[in-house]
Amino acid sequence: MKKVYIETMGCQMNKSDTERMLGILEHFGYTATEDEKSADLLIINTCSIRQLSEDKAFSKIGLWGKRKRKGADIKIGFCGCVAKQKGAEIFKRAPYVDFVMAPDEIAQLPEILGCGSAPDTAPKRSKSVNAWIPIMNGCNNFCTYCIVPYTRGRERSREPEVILKEAREAIAQGFKEITLLGQNVDSFIGGENYKLPRLLRDLNAIEGKFRIRFVTSYPTDITDELIAAAAELDKVCEYFHIPMQSGSTEILKAMNRRYTREEYVQICAKVRTAIPDVTITSDFIAGFPGETEEQFLETLSVMDELELDYCNTAAYSPREKTVAAAWTDKFLSKEVKNERLARLNEHTRKNCLKSNKKFVGRTLEILAEGFEEGVLTGRTRNNKIVHIPCERDLTGEFLDVKITGATTWYLRGALQA
Ligand code: SF4
């Protein structure tokens, strides 16, 4: 039997794409392996958000190329966003690569490998409690720093029936949580008057005990109707990931984000008012071209004002083809970017701890996700990680846990009888 090893970089959408590739490959007789040395087919599923990630991908396939040159009988595939962005250029840089495949070409994988035509296969999901289900792909927003509209193309939503079928199958297979994925998940359009709130309602109506999440939300696509659905539907978790990117309206404008600081603050206020205990997480960029110290301080102040529960942070990294990459005269030095990034992280840590401490003494429902050395790890509905001393592996179960302590990154808890 042939074996395939896939190394996945980047976001959940890539993880979901990997599951789709594995589903197809399994149909053609491949089994997935975690041991790259034993694989006949090696695939790297790349991310182009940052230069570092792209460099890592080339360094990884460089090692595979060395093995091939020494006579190993392996096939090497280069997939994902860097594949879309660079295309055939990749063969020049890495001539040992057998095929380059963009994310929107995954269905053609069998033809690419010369083993047949694309079957209608289910994704091969990893053995976790959570099933990722993409509902839309691509982006129409063209933020000036972002490569995604060039790598993932324009927005395309999947058919509601297909999504609902996949969700029903995942629940029947025992998955306890469904996460709907999309670059701008809240601009999903499944037909006339069929937007994300209606999809959530239809998913919520599927029988069984499970949770529903959705990521990532574009701030101004969060409608009152969506907030109301999230507040009302019992299976939809109290969790919103809403990237803000900067707390300065001027920088937001330069980023081509379609909202002001005040509008973002107002959206978060609406979400917090409608949904008690909601966790709101965000993304921020440190050192966007031309960002002044004052403008950067506006980012720190909005993080504190909104008490954002967690923030992904990154120093600005110019990406080829994007508008901001041409503003070289406005680029900030590496030192300034890293120093600002450190301050963003410090504020993230402070707000994270503050947010976690609020739950000490409360009893929360967790979904157990893993067990190691006498510690069960689970997640609350509002996406807080909880570690619980436990004698048995209860992965996959919903449990009531009394929160006994809080650290910056997780809560501690005790099982309730
Ligand atoms: S909304 Fe902006 S940051 Fe998000 S994927 Fe689209 S272009 Fe990139």
Domains and CATH numbers, the chain: 2-113 (3.40.50.12160), 130-357 (3.80.30.20), 363-415 (2.40.50.140)
Say what the pLDDT of residue 257 is.
Answer: 98
CB 33 within 8 A of CB 3: yes
Cα–Cα dist 45/27, whole Å:
20
CA 291 to chain centre: 26
Say what the pLDDT of residue 126 is.
Answer: 74
Cα–Cα dist 126/57, whole Å:
22
Say what the pLDDT of residue 176 is.
Answer: 97
CB 8 within 8 A of CB 15: yes
Name the stretches of the chain with pLDDT < 70.
118-119
Cis peptide before 216 (omega within 30 of 0): yes
Say what the pLDDT of residue 94 is.
Answer: 94
CB 44 within 8 A of CB 21: no
State the distance from the centre of ligand 1 to the C-alpha of 257, rounded, in angstroms: 9
Say what the pLDDT of residue 417 is.
Answer: 76
Say what the pLDDT of residue 115 is.
Answer: 82
State the distance from the centre of ligand 1 to the C-alpha of 361, rounded, in angstroms: 39
Say what the pLDDT of residue 117 is.
Answer: 75
Task: Name the residue among 247, 252, 263, 341 with its Cα closest to residue 302.
Answer: 247
Sign of CA pseudo-dihedral 100, 106, 112, 115: positive
Say what the pLDDT of residue 288 is.
Answer: 98
pTM across the whole model: 0.87
Say what the pLDDT of residue 82 is.
Answer: 93
Say what the pLDDT of residue 206 is.
Answer: 98
State the distance from the centre of ligand 1 to the C-alpha of 146, rounded, in angstroms: 6
State the distance from the centre of ligand 1 to the C-alpha of 415, rounded, in angstroms: 41
CB 181 within 8 A of CB 138: no
Q: How far is the CA of 181 from the CAs of 135, 222, 409, in angstroms?
A: 6, 15, 24
Say what the pLDDT of residue 291 is.
Answer: 98
Say what the pLDDT of residue 125 is.
Answer: 78
Cα–Cα dist 13/389, whole Å:
33
Question: Which residue lies with its CA nearest to atom 8 of ligand 1?
Answer: 146
Q: Is 19 helix (H, G, I), strand (E, B) or coil?
A: helix
Ligand 1 pocket by Cβ (under 6 Å):
139, 141-143, 146, 148-149, 183-184, 218
CA 224 to chain centre: 24
